[in-house]
């Protein structure tokens, strides 16, 4: 049997891939179906069928990358198979290599570079690796874009020009005939850190004050690859060459710098620190602190002067405002209070006077337009001894011709008192004690007294007083009897009944038995001596006294009481009153001693009140006749003592009122005493009292009318 001719060899159709080959062949009219065989040279199994069918295109899959395969094809129909075609060899494409290993640090990390190495990929894509590409990106880069840092055939490289203390993401891929591999795992590597970068200049964060300034700052842009652990604020004065002083350390971004000097220019700088160390100081912020009251002055320097002390002091720091005033004060122990002794712009002064031999304490205060400084430390000095002080407690006792002076010991003022001088007018007396008696003085004379203490420094201040010597005791005045009664004597002395010298008078009386008694003592010019016996002589003496003492007694004056008058008659009444007469009776009085008692009766018409005696005798009743009918009478009685030296009339009793009835009206005798007018009957003439009432009523009516008229005129 003869085989049919072989078909044309297979040809590649389409793109080759690392794992497949697409084969195509031509179909002849006599071909019904085809058989495709493939030989894997590395397997050494020979040709193996991979396709059997009518199609003229077949894709061989599952092939190895970059591997050569042999193919042959034959056709067949009802007559049988044809010959095998010529063998053709096709090779698959190489595949993409796998990713290299993650880059690793090789050697020591440096500030600006590091050396990396990595392993080639385990899967090289069936071919060789032509080269590597290493990319780098800063950690937390906001752009998220890697940059190429190395391209080359070697699996290692050195990356330079890096930032210190910066973390980087590093990745690598490789390239072969099959293309680029995927990127390796990213490695996070960081360069060695450095000190933080320089901060910006701090900013003022409020108004500068005399002793503090608030500032604020920001963290540096670069932390040097290590977190900032501390911020430091440095300060220095610009006017003087001094080192930077740390004013603050911490993590805050603001602070208030304290303990500054007022009105001074300061430079403030800030720097950041990390674990490597502090960064550079920022540019300075120059600020001048605020002005305030002057600083505390130093203690004043005190030196002696004649009669005082001199004080001087050094001007303190003005703190930005010129000092305009100083106040110097002084005190002495216990220094509870201070007194201002100087106020002015000068830095020295003299203080006069000062207490001698005394610890004096001085302090000074400065003032500017803002306020006052604190008081300075104390400057002290013990002043020189001085003359004694004024003697205290000068007092005296006097007599008419002498005086005795007493005083207390004065302050010695640092030097003992040796003696005292007493000046009384033109006479000077020196004594060593605190008592002095001056004799042979003129009574009732004013002396100007001056007492001084004297020591080795000199005489002290004088204590002055005026002393009046006592006058001599006064002579007794002339005594006289102004009025003599039966049981009293009224005495009078002196002239014009005045006592210009305010003398004190003493009256002594001697009774008939010879007993002396003080009957008056005082400054009056008269007195009344009572409880005496009638018709009795008494002896009196008078003496006058002033502040000096009592003067001599006068001669004896004898004054005699008069006879006692009888008492007033009592029980006066009238009976049997008729139009022409009435009967009067009264109570009898006891005889006074051996003297009998007579009585005198007087009668008067009420209207006329002119009394006439109508009876005198020893009887105690009497009929008064020849009266007028219808009239009112007043009747009174007195007792008369019949003494051998002459009758003594007593006081009249109060008069009684008697009204006689009219003559045309007869009535039986009546026994009564009328204290008031009584109308018996019929029309009677007006009595004197009635006339007086009528006249008084008329005057009252006229006064009321006159008052009403005046009120009408005024208002």
Tell me the per-residue pLDDT of 218-231, one tens digit each, with 9 for 90 and over: 999 888 888 899 99
Per-residue confidence (pLDDT) for residue 664, from 0 to 100: 64
Q: What is the sign, positive or negative, of the torsion defined by CA atoms of 407, 408, 413, 415? A: positive
Per-residue confidence (pLDDT) for residue 491, from 0 to 100: 92
Please tell me the distance from the alpha carbon of residue 518 to that of residue 537, in angstroms, as a whole number: 17
Per-residue confidence (pLDDT) for residue 680, from 0 to 100: 35
Supply 333's token pair: 């122990």
Q: In this structure, what are the phi and psi dihedrals at residue 383, rounded to the nearest 5 degrees? A: -70, 160
Please tell me the distance from the alpha carbon of residue 230 to that of residue 681, in angstroms, as a whole number: 143
Supply 83's token pair: 């010959």
Q: In this structure, what is the dihedral angle of CA atoms 102, 106, 108, 110, given to the nearest 10 degrees?
A: -60
Name all domains of the chain by residue range, CATH numbers in brackets: 11-91 (2.60.40.10), 104-190 (2.60.40.10), 203-288 (2.60.40.10), 301-382 (2.60.40.10), 395-467 (2.60.40.10), 479-560 (2.60.40.10), 573-688 (2.60.40.10)
Please tell me the distance from the alpha carbon of residue 315 to that of residue 297, in angstroms, as a whole number: 7
By CB neighbour count within 10 A (0-12 exposed, 13-18 middle, 19+ buried), where does 169 fall?
Answer: middle
By CB neighbour count within 10 A (0-12 exposed, 13-18 middle, 19+ buried), where does 17 fall?
Answer: middle
Cβ neighbours around 577 below 10 Å, total: 25
First to last CA, the chain: 187
Please state the separation of Cα 476 from the chain's center in Å. 72
Helix (H) or strand (E) holding 12: strand 11-12
In order of 152, 529, 662, 670, the CA distances from 679 in angstroms are 178, 51, 9, 14
Please state the separation of Cα 503 from the chain's center in Å. 62
pLDDT in tens, 476-533: 999 999 999 889 999 999 877 788 888 899 999 998 888 899 999 999 999 999 999 8
Longest alpha-carbon distance in the chain: 239
Q: Are 103 and 154 in contact (CB under 8 A)?
A: no
Per-residue confidence (pLDDT) for residue 386, from 0 to 100: 86
E-only strand ranges, 455-607: 463-468, 479-484, 489-493, 504-510, 516-522, 526-529, 537-545, 557-560, 573-575, 582-585, 596-605
Residue with tokens 């500030």: 111
Cβ neighbours around 630 below 10 Å, total: 20
Please tell me the distance from the alpha carbon of residue 150 to that of residue 114, in angstroms, as a whole number: 13
| Coil, helix or strand at residue 697 | helix
Supply 426's token pair: 């033109």
- In terms of pTM, does the model score above 0.75? no
Q: Are 109 and 191 in contact (CB under 8 A)?
A: yes
Give 490's strand partners: 483, 528
In order of 161, 299, 507, 558, the CA distances from 332 in angstroms are 81, 16, 63, 75
Work out whether strand 463-468 and strand 479-484 pair parallel, antiparallel, or are unpaired: unpaired
| Coil, helix or strand at residue 660 | coil
Cβ neighbours around 478 below 10 Å, total: 12
pLDDT in tens, 303-336: 999 889 999 999 998 888 899 999 999 999 888 8
Q: Are 538 and 512 in contact (CB under 8 A)?
A: yes
Mean pLDDT, the chain, rounded, equals: 88
In order of 338, 346, 376, 408, 414, the CA distances from 331 in angstroms are 5, 21, 14, 26, 18
Per-residue confidence (pLDDT) for residue 498, from 0 to 100: 85
Please tell me the distance from the alpha carbon of residue 681 to that of residue 686, in angstroms, as a whole number: 13
Q: Are 559 and 481 in contact (CB under 8 A)?
A: yes
Residue with tokens 């990356």: 159
E-only strand ranges, 407-474: 419-424, 427-431, 435-438, 446-454, 463-468
Buried b (16+ CB within 10 A) or exposed e, 30-42: ebeebbbbbbbee
| Coil, helix or strand at residue 60 | strand
Q: In this structure, what is the dihedral angle of CA atoms 481, 483, 485, 488, given to the nearest 10 degrees?
A: -60
Q: Which residues of the chain have pLDDT under 70?
A: 1-3, 142, 664-688, 715
Q: Which pairs count as long-range contacts for 55-62, CB under 8 Å and 24+ apart, including other chains?
A: 56/24, 56/25, 56/26, 56/27, 57/13, 57/22, 57/23, 57/24, 58/22, 58/23, 58/24, 59/20, 59/21, 59/22, 59/23, 60/20, 60/21, 60/22, 60/23, 61/19, 61/20, 62/19, 62/20
Q: Are 425 and 494 in contact (CB under 8 A)?
A: no
Per-residue confidence (pLDDT) for residue 375, from 0 to 100: 94
Per-residue confidence (pLDDT) for residue 319, from 0 to 100: 87
Helix (H) or strand (E) holding 139: none
């Amino acid at each position: 049997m003869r085989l049919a001719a072989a078909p044309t060899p297979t040809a590649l159709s389409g793109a080759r891939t690392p794992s497949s080959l697409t084969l195509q062949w031509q179909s002849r009219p006599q071909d019904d179906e085809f058989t495709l065989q493939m030989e894997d040279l590395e397997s050494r199994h020979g040709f193996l069928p991979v396709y059997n069918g009518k199609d003229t295109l077949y894709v061989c899959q599952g092939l190895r990358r970059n591997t050569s395969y042999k193919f042959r094809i034959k056709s067949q129909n009802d007559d049988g198979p044809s010959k095998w075609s010529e063998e053709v060899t096709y090779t698959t494409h190489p595949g993409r290599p796998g990713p290299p290993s993650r880059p690793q640090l090789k050697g020591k990390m440096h500030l600006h570079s590091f050396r990396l190495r990595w392993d080639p990929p385990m899967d090289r894509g069936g071919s060789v690796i032509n080269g590597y590409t290493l990319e780098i990106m800063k950690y937390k880069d906001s752009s998220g874009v890697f940059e190429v840092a190395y391209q080359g055939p070697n699996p290692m490289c050195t990356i330079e020009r890096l930032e210190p203390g910066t973390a980087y993401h590093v990745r690598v891929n490789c390239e072969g005939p099959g293309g680029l591999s995927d990127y390796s795992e990213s490695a996070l590597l960081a360069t060695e850190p450095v000190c933080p970068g320089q901060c910006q200049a701090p900013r003022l964060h409020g108004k500068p004050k005399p002793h503090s300034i608030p500032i604020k700052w920001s963290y540096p842009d670069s932390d040097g690859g290590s977190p900032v652990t501390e911020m430091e604020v440095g300060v220095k004065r610009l006017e003087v060459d001094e080192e930077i002083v740390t004013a603050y350390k911490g993590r805050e971004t603001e602070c208030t710098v304290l303990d500054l000097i007022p009105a001074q220019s300061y430079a403030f700088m800030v720097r950041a620190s990390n674990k490597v160390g502090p960064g550079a100081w920022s540019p300075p912020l120059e600020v001048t602190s605020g002005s305030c009251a002057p600083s505390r002055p130093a203690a004043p320097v005190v030196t002696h002067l004649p009669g005082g002390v001199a004080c001087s002091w050094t001007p303190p720091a003005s703190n930005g405002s010129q000092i305009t005033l100083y106040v110097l004060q002084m005190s002495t122990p216990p220094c509870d209070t201070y007194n201002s002794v100087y106020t002015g712009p000068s830095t020295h002064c003299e203080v006069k006077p000062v207490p001698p031999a005394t610890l004096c304490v001085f302090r000074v205060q400065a003032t500017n337009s803002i306020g006052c400084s604190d008081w300075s430390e104390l400057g002290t000095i013990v002043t020189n001894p001085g003359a004694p002080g004024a003697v205290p407690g000068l007092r005296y006792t006097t007599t008419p011709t002498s005086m005795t002076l007493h005083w207390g010991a004065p302050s010695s003022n640092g030097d003992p008192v040796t003696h005292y001088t007493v000046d009384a007018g033109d006479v000077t007396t020196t004594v060593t004690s605190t008592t002095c008696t001056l004799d042979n003085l003129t009574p009732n004379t004013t002396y100007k007294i001056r007492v001084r203490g004297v020591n080795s420094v000199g005489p002290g201040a004088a204590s002055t007083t005026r002393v009046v010597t006592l006058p001599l005791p006064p002579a007794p005045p002339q005594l006289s009897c102004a009025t003599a009664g039966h049981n009293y004597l009224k005495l009078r002395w002196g002239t014009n009944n005045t006592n210009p010298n305010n003398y004190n008078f003493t009256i002594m009386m001697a009774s008939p038995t010879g007993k002396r008694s003080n009957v008056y003592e005082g400054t009056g010019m008269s007195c009344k001596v009572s409880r005496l016996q009638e018709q009795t002589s008494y002896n009196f003496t008078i003496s006058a006294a002033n502040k000096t003492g009592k003067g001599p007694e006068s001669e004896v004056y004898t004054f005699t009481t008069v006879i006692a008058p009888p008492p007033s008659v009592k029980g006066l009444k009238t009976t049997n009153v008729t139009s022409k007469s009435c009967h009067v009776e009264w109570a009898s009085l006891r005889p006074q001693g051996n003297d009998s008692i007579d009585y005198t009766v007087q009668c008067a018409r009420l209207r006329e009140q002119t009394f006439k005696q109508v009876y005198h005798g020893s009887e105690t009743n009497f009929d008064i006749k020849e009266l007028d009918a219808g009239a009112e009478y007043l009747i009174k009685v007195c007792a008369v003592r019949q003494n051998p030296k002459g009758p003594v009339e007593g006081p009249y009793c109060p008069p009684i009122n008697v009204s006689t009835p009219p003559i045309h009206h007869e009535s039986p005798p009546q026994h009564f005493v009328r204290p008031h007018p009584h109308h018996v009957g019929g029309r009677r003439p007006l009595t004197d009292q009635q006339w007086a009432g009528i006249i008084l009523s008329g005057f009252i009516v006229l006064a009321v009318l006159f008052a009403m008229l005046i009120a009408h005129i005024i208002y």
